[in-house]
Amino acid sequence: MKVASASQMAELDRLTTEKYGIPTLLLMENAGRSCAERILHILEDKVGAPEEASVAVVCGRGNNGGDGMVIARHLHNRGVYVEVFLMSEEERLSHDAKVQYEILGKLDVERRIIRNVEGVEDLRVYLEEVHLCVDAILGTGLSSPLDGIVREVVEVINLSMAPVYAVDIPSGIDATTGRLLGEAVRADYTGSFGLLKLGHVLLPGSLHCGETDVFDIGIPSKAVFDAQIKTEALDERVVKSVLSIRPPGFHKGDAGRVFIIGGYPGLTGAPCLAGQAALRMGAGLITVVVPESLRPIVESKLMEVMSIGIPDGGSGCFRKDMVPELMEKIAKADVVVVGPGLGAYPGVGEFVADLFPRIRVPFIVDADGLNALAGQVEVLKKTVAHCTLTPHPGEMSRLTREPIEAIEASRIGSAQHLAEEQNVTVILKGARTVIATPKGDVFINTTGNPYMASGGMGDALSGMLSALASQGLSPTDAACAGVFLHGMSADLLVRKHPMSAVSATDVIENVREALQHILGERPPEDNA
């Protein structure tokens, strides 16, 4: 699903009214009615009949407040007892909000104005009695921290026991970055209009949204197309669309040949994990390529994954002079992974600088392969095959020389810049992993959890990515499917075993269940 920034959404609203002639009052009516229908379903589950329910609708002076007043009107018409708390004098309301406010007056809907601490206290008392509170205070246009009465009201809403329904986005969330602007409403439900906003998807904003619905309020699909929004939230539908059923006669050669280059004394587990992940993800033939002196160790760890040793003179590491023989050994590769357990030692930078331009098939750079690029990222401009980089924020910082804090503050921007500048696909890992393509497209992953915080996760991901790419997926599709399935595998494990740490091996072994979940199939034992 496409995801918009606050400015992109504002432009869509402008195009809808100015270019396509759809009145803002009609958009407001559609938005409020859609939310009211959802709220009625919530109240039916909690209370039963609408006439037995009571609701507080807290409105700001802008169009978000106008949406809230439409909600109040529709709930009132269905028998719900509604009181509207307005955080503005009537004369300061936006044009459309004022229209809605006057309609409520004619319908004798109870309206109160919060002018001071006494008004805040009135709201606090009323929230002790209601079955739901509607947050229609600020919407998507907010960019500065909450203060004064507005902040006090948000705090009162958060301290109440009433479930909260946020209109478009919880008040206090930056719709573009997901940052909390001082204080933010913690909603149980959110109704977004037209498209998801980045603040619904990015952390920590997404944690404040609860169950989120996206409502069609009449924004023309042509306007969305013309806006050329290049950011998308990954979901099961997107991933399922790139997976295909194997035809009869399919054999291991058709499933692709993956070669994984890595290994260093003490780090031999990393390339082996990547190999196992590639196997579980369906690659037909996987070979782990290591310095010859490490091969006996690797051989003892692998059964269905092959291994090759490159003569290393007993050093246990790769050097630049080993590249010609290495290229001969990987000549049949469909996809190459470089970096798992590669090590950090003098000469590793020269090794990758000589290797990368020689690779003729799509390749993935992970872990120490990324660290070896630090200070010489221009090597990527010499490559002839498509490259996918998989940095976490620390590795990203070493590649770009940006502080980690700056990267975390603008994950999308940082990933986009590196992808476009170096003509590579960038998978910036972390909470809400960001995938950026050379064309400027961005995908935000929505799977994964904090219990994945353990060594080897990156190795598992690189193996999964390589397997998907070896089976014919484009670099973008392989990145999206691999990242989503990696996180989904861990999510399913945590659902079964709450608060239990998840290892890389656990994730690899559970990939099959993640695939079944995506494809809408249940394991046989669940069908009894």
- What's the half-sphere exposure (Cβ side, CA atoms, 13 Å) at 60? 23
C-alpha to C-alpha distance for 277 and 34, rounded to whole angstroms:
44
CA 78 and chain centroid, separation: 37
Residue 246 confidence (pLDDT): 87
Query: Token pair of 395, please?
Result: 């590795």
Q: 3-state class of 189 per DSSP?
A: strand
CA 420 and chain centroid, separation: 20
CA 242 and chain centroid, separation: 18
What distances in angstroms separate CA 526 from CA 144, 240, 507, 520, 521, one per listed residue? 50, 21, 20, 12, 10
Q: Parallel, antiparallel, or unpaired for β 3-4 and 196-197?
A: parallel
Residue 526 confidence (pLDDT): 47
* Parts of the chain belonging to CATH 3.40.1190.20: 238-519
CATH superfamily of the domain spanning 238-519: Ribokinase (3.40.1190.20)
C-alpha to C-alpha distance for 395 and 282, rounded to whole angstroms:
28
Instruction: Please report, in tens digits, the pLDDT of each residue of the chain (528 residues total).
Output: 899 999 999 999 999 999 999 999 999 999 999 999 999 999 999 898 889 999 999 999 999 999 999 999 999 999 999 999 999 999 999 999 999 999 999 999 999 999 999 999 999 999 999 999 999 999 898 888 999 999 999 999 999 999 999 999 999 999 999 999 999 999 999 999 999 999 999 999 999 999 999 999 999 999 998 888 999 999 999 999 999 888 898 989 988 999 999 999 999 999 999 999 999 999 999 999 999 999 999 999 999 999 999 999 999 999 999 999 999 999 999 999 999 999 999 999 999 999 999 999 999 999 999 999 999 999 999 999 999 999 999 999 999 999 999 999 999 999 999 999 999 999 999 999 999 999 999 999 999 999 999 999 999 999 999 999 999 999 999 999 999 999 999 999 999 999 999 999 999 999 999 999 998 865 555 443
C-alpha to C-alpha distance for 227 and 20, rounded to whole angstroms:
14
**Domain range 3-229, CATH architecture:** 3-Layer(aba) Sandwich (3.40)
C-alpha to C-alpha distance for 126 and 132, rounded to whole angstroms:
11
Query: Token pair of 298, please?
Result: 């690797």
- 405: CB partners within 8 A, 6+ apart: none
- The pTM for the full model equals 0.93
CA-nearest of 384, 394, 383, 372 to 262 is: 372
Within 308-456, residue ranges assigned H as helices are 323-329, 348-355, 368-373, 393-400, 404-409, 411-422
C-alpha to C-alpha distance for 153 and 346, rounded to whole angstroms:
59
* Parts of the chain belonging to CATH 3.40.50.10260: 3-229
C-alpha to C-alpha distance for 262 and 235, rounded to whole angstroms:
32
Contact assessment for residue 166 and residue 36, using Cβ atoms and an 8 Å cutoff: no
Identify any residues that bridge with 112 across adjacent strands, giving them in sequence order. Answer: 85
Q: Quick one: 304 exposed, middle or buried, by C-beta within 10 A (0-12, 13-18, 19+)?
A: exposed
Query: Token pair of 313, please?
Result: 């003179």
Exposure b/e, 80-92, CB count within 10 A at least 16 = b? bbbbbbbbbeeee
